Structure 1
Amino acid sequence: MCKHIFYVWEAWFVGDWMKKILLVDDNRTMLLFMEKVLSKRGFDVITANDGMHALQVLEERPDIQFVLSDWMMPEMDGIELCSRVKSANYGRYLFFMLLSGKDDKESIVSGINAGADDFVVKDTHVDELEARIQAGFRTLALHNEITAKNEALDAAYATMKKDLDSAGELLKRLLPTENTMSGVELSYESIPSAQIGGDMLGYMKLDEDHVAIYLLDVAGHGVSSALLSFSVQQSLSVNSGHSSIVKTTLDEPPYYRLNEPHEVLRRLNERYISNDQNLLYFTMVYAVLNIKTGRMDFSIAGHPPLVWMHSRLGDAELVGQESFVIGAFDFVEYETLYIQLEPGDKVWMYSDGITEAEKGDEMFSEEGFRKAVVEVNEQPTTLQTELLVNSVRKWQQAEQFDDDVSVLVVEWKGNPEREQLCDMKLSTKVNARFFK
C-alpha cells in the first residue's frame, strides 16, 4: 500500500503541476503582459483579477500550488490573500510570491509577516523573476516529497499499530480465565506498559493433586519481549510427552514424574540461552502446590521474592532466594525451596514493574508491596490484586506504570477431599435429624 501511494505521487510529481502558476492582478494590462512573458518561459499561467477570484480558482483547481499575486488590489489585496491561503486551516500548501511596485524594508517585512515565501518588485528583470519562480518550485517539490513520505510513514505506522493492537489482544487471551481450581482460589492483574508487554503469568493443573503457578518478566518491551514470553508460556503448557518441561515420562505407572521447580527453570535456561542474535533474558518464579497437603515447592530465577500471607498471624513475609536470570548464562544452577501453607494462607507473585513504581525519588519497594498485601487481606481474594494495583496507582499519583505490571495471588483453601468429606458428614447428620 505504501509503495502504491509513493508511485502515484511520483507520477503526479513529474507532471505538469511544476509549471502551473496562478497569476493575480487587478490591472488587466499588467495581467496580460505577465501572462505572455511567463507563458513564453514555459509556464502554464492561470489568471485571476482579484483576491476573491483567486480563492475561487484555487478552490476549483487543486493542482495549482504556486501563486504570484499583486499587492495592491480592490476587495482583497495580496496581503490578505496570502494570509488566507497560508493560514493553518487552509486545505493545502501553496508557495506564495508577492509582486509589488514598492521596494522598501517596511513592505518586505509586511509581506513576510503575512506568510509570503518570496517578494518581487515589478520592475525585476524577467530572467531573475524566472530564476526565483524556479527556486519556488524546487521548494514545492521538496515539500511534496516530504509530505508524500510522511503519508507513507503514517500509513505504515497505522498498519503496525493495528497489528500490535491485535497482538496485544491475542496475548491477553493466553491469560487464565478461571479464578478457582480444586482447593485453591486465584486472582491476577496483568497490565502492559505499551501495546504489548513482556510479562506473562499462568496456572495449570498438573494432576489430581498438584497445581503449577508461574510468573515471568522478559527484559525490555515490545515485539521481541512479547514473543519470548509467548514462547515460554507455550513451552510450559505442554503437559505430557517427551517434549514436556514440567513432567518427565516414565515407563511404569503413573508413567510420569513431576519435575521439581528448579528442573523446570534449568530446562528453560537450556532452551532459551542467549546468543549473538538473541540477547533477551527473563526473570521467573515457578511453583507447584499440592492442593491436598498445602505444601508449595518453588524456585526463583532472578525474580523478586514471594510474599507469604499467613492467615492465622494476619501478617506477611518475604520469601525468596538469590539466583540468576534465565537465558543469560549456561553455567547456572537453580534451587527448589518449599513452604508449608495453612488453610487460608496466600502466596503472592509479582513483577518488578509494581515494586519499582516511583513517586519522586521514592520507589514503592518490596516492603511496600508486603504491607499493601496485609492491608487488602480482609477483602475477597478475587478482588485483592485489583485493589492492590489501584493502591499503588494512588500512591504514585498516576494511572499509568512505566513498566509492565503483573500481580498474582493464590489462596490455599485446605484439602478439598477433607472439606468434601466434612460436607458429606454434615449433610448425613442433617438429613438424619430431618427424617427422625
Structure 2
Amino acid sequence: MKKILLVDDNKTMLIFMAKVLSKRGFDVITASDGMHALQVLEDRPDIQFVLSDWMMPEIDGIELCSRVKSADYGRYLFFMLLSGKDDKESIVSGINAGADDFVVKDTHVDELVARIQAGFRTLALHNEITTKNDALDNAYATMKKDLESAGELLKRLLPTEKTMSGVELSYVSIPSAQIGGDMLGYMNLDEEHVAIYLLDVAGHGVSSALLSFSVQQSIAVSSGHSSIVKTAIEEPPYYRVNQPHEVLKHLNEQYLSDDLNLLYFTMVYAVLNIKTGKMAFSSAGHPPLVWLHSLHGDAELIGQESFVVGAFDFVEYETSYIQLDPGDKVWMYSDGITEAEKGSEMFSEEGFRKTVVQLNEQPTTLQTELLVNRVRDWQQAEQFDDDVSVLVVEWKGNPEREQLCNMKLSTKVNAQFFK
C-alpha cells in the first residue's frame, strides 16, 4: 500500500483528509506539525511521500520542505504542498523550496488523488533509477577491484632482477590507467645471450592489457617446439637463438588481426651477446633506440622503418647489428614518454636523447626513474596521458674476462700477503 505522511496543524482537516485518502487506497500516517513530521520521517524510513499544509506554527510547510529536500537529508521524498493560496508568488515560493507539486486546498478530491498518483509514479521511476544506479555502482566497484588485481598481476610479470651476467638494467613502467598496454622484459637465453624487449599495444584497458600479457607469455617460453625465441636443431647445443626479425615474424603471424580483433602493437626486440657486446635488434613500428657511447659520452638514435605487429600479413622485418663497448647503454621506451606534452610542445625523441646524455653520470639503476621525473618536471604534471615504459641496458664487458682479471688480482694479493 502506498504510504503518505499527511501534515496539518488543523486537527479537523487532518482527520478529514486522512479519511478521504484512506478510502482511495492510501496508507495515511499523520503529523500535527512540522516538528512532528520530521520525527515521523526519522522513525519511518519507508515513507517517501509527504503531503503538507503550508501554514503551520514553528516549522511551516515551506521550512519542512526545505529541510527534507536538502542535499544532506539522506533520502529522496516526493513533497506536495497544500495551501489556501492560489497566486503566482505562492506557487513560486513553494517550488523554490523544493516542492514537487503544489495543490490548492479546494481542489477537487479526484484531481488531488490523480496528482498524488502521478507523484507515486515519479517516486517509482526514481526508485527504479536508484536501484539500477546502485547495481551499476556495485558492478563498477567489482570491476575496479578486478582491474586493480589485474594491474597487480601485470606488475608481477615485470622483471625483478636488475643485474645479470655482463649487464646492468633499469626500467620504469607506468600505466596511464589501472592497467595498461605496455610490457617490457629481459631474460637469459643461454650463457651468452640476453633477450631484451619492450612493446606497446594500441589503446588502453583490458583488451590491450590481455594482449600485452599474452605476448609476454609467448616470449617467455625459451625452450621446446613452442618457443619463438629459439629453434630446435639436431646438433649440439640442439637449439639456435632466433634472430630478432624471426621473433617479430612469429609474433606477427600469431597475433594477426582479423575483423573481430583489431589490436596491434609496436615492439623492439634485441639479443645481446654478453661476451662480445654485439647486439642484434629488430623494430616493428617502434620509436628508435637511443645508443649512448661510453667513450665520448654522446648518444644517437638508431632504428628501422617497419610496420607494427599484428596489422598486416605481408610484413617483413629485418635485424640490425651494433657493436657495444664496455659501458655503452641502449635505451628502449614507449611513445608515452616522448609524446608527453607541455602546451603544444612534445618532449620528443630528441629531448629524450639529450636527457639520456645529461643523466649519464648517474648510476644506471637510477637513470630511468630520474629521466621520468625530468619529463614530469618539464610537463609540470605528475600524470601521463599514455602508458610510459622506459628501459636501459648497460653492457659491462665480457664477464669471463672480468672474472679472469679478478682472479689474477686475487692471486697477486694473496702472494704478497703470504710472502
TM-score, reference length from structure 2: 0.99
Structure-2 separation of matches of 1:43 and 1:248: 81
Q: Partner residue of 1:426?
A: 409
SS at match of 1:296: strand
CA distance in 1: counterparts of 2:18 and 2:309, whole angstroms? 76
Give distance in 2, aligned partners of 1:266 and 1:276.
21
CA apart distance, 1:148? 0.5
Equivalent residues in 2 for 1:153-192 (5 A)? 153-192=136-175
**SS in structure 2 of the partner of residue 283 of structure 1:** strand
Shift of 1:23: 0.4
How far apart are the structure 1 equivalents of 2:44 and 2:243? 76
1:277 pairs, out of 260, 271, 274, with: 260
Structure 1 residue 36 displacement after superposition: 0.9
**Residue of structure 2 equivalent to 1:333:** 316
| Aligned with 1:294 (options 267, 277, 281) | 277
What one-letter code is carried by the residue in structure 2 that aligns with 1:321? Q
Q: Which runs of 5+ in 1 are unaligned?
A: 1-15
Code of the residue aligned with 2:57 in structure 1: it is P
- What does 1:230-245 align with in structure 2 at a 5 Å threshold? 230-245=213-228
Are 1:254 and 2:237 matched, yes or no?
yes
Deviation at 1:431, TM superposition (A): 1.2
Counterpart secondary structure, 1:42: coil
Which among 393, 398, 401 is matched to residue 410 of structure 1? 393
- The corresponding residue for 2:45 is 62
Specify the code of the residue in structure 2 equivalent to 1:114: A
| Residue in 2 that maps onto 1:380 | 363
Distance in 2, matches of 1:112 and 1:276, equals: 55
Corresponding residue SS for 1:426: helix
C-alpha distance in 2 between matches for 1:348 and 1:335: 19
Amino acid across the alignment from 1:361: S
Instruction: Tell me how far apart the structure 2 counterparts of residues 210 and 99 of structure 1 sit (CA, whole Å).
Output: 86
1:345 aligns with 2:328: yes
Tell me how far apart the structure 2 counterparts of residues 105 and 330 of structure 1 sit (CA, whole Å): 74
CA distance in 2, matches of 1:207, 1:43: 82
State how many pairs are aligned. Answer: 419
Question: Which amino acid is the alignment partner of residue 70 of structure 2?
Answer: S
Unaligned runs of 5+ in 2: none
**Is 1:208 equivalent to 2:173 in the alignment?**
no
Q: Distance in 2 between matches of 1:270 and 1:124?
A: 77
Q: Which residue of 1 aligns with 2:209?
A: 226
Counterpart of 1:343, as a letter, is P
**Which residue of 2 is the match for residue 307 of structure 1?**
290
2:18 — aligned with what?
Answer: 35
Deviation at 1:356, TM superposition (A): 0.5
Q: Residues of 1 paired with 2:166 and 2:210: CA distance?
A: 33
Shift of residue 341, structure 1, vs aligned partner: 0.4
Deviation at 1:352, TM superposition (A): 0.4
Match of 2:299 in 1: 316
> In structure 1, how many angstroms separate the alpha carbons of the residues matched to 2:63 and 2:243?
81
- The whole-number CA distance in structure 1 between the counterparts of 2:250 and 2:85 is 84
Identity of aligned residues (%): 88
Q: Give the deviation of 1:310 after TM superposition.
A: 0.5
1:53 aligns with 2:36: yes
| Of 110, 119, 122, the match for 2:93 | 110
User: Distance in 1 between the 2:43 and 2:412 partners?
Assistant: 92
Counterpart Cα distance in 1 of 2:245 and 2:164: 24
Q: Distance in 2 between matches of 1:348 and 1:91?
A: 56
Deviations 1:390-418 (A, max 9, x none): 00000011000000000000000000000
Q: Which amino acid aligns with 2:385?
A: D
Q: What are the Cα deviations for residues 46-88 of structure 1, in whole angstroms up to 9, with x where unaligned?
A: 1000000000111111111000000111121111100110000
TM-superposition CA deviations, 1:266-315 (whole Å, max 9, x none): 11111111111111100000000000110000000000010000011111
Q: CA RMSD in A?
A: 0.6
Which amino acid in 2 is paired with 1:430? V
* Residue type of the alignment partner of 1:407: V
Mapped to 1, the partners of 2:231 and 2:70 lie a distance apart of 72
Residue identity matched to 2:93: S
Give the Cα–Cα distance (whole angstroms) in 2 for the partners of residues 270 and 139 of structure 1. Answer: 57
C-alpha distance in structure 2 between counterparts of 1:397 and 1:125, whole Å? 67
